[in-house]
Amino acid sequence: MAKVAKITITISDAGTGQNIQIATTGKKGATLLNDINNRVFYPSQSPWATSVGYYTDVLTKAISQL
């Protein structure tokens, strides 16, 4: 099985907020999949009471960037 694409989500603290960056690589047939490179600042941190809650919030924010 060949790897076709990759999406990377990077979260970094920025004071009381956080930066969420999304970057993609890959190609599927003739379609290039490497054209997303967004970085958005959010003024508040994702909640971290549980890992599921934290990543659910991060992924929700990341999806809204697409």
Tens of pLDDT, residues 42-55: 999 999 899 999 99
Give residue 24's pLDDT band: very low, low, confident or very high (50, 70, 90). very high
44 CB-side CA count, 13 A: 5
d(Cα 14, Cα 19) in Å, to the nearest integer? 6
Residue 1 has pLDDT above 90, yes or no: no
Domain boundaries, the chain: 5-65
61 sits in the region (left: phi over 0; alpha: psi -120 to 50; else beta) called: alpha
**Rounded mean pLDDT of 15-41?**
95
**Rounded mean pLDDT of 30-48?**
94
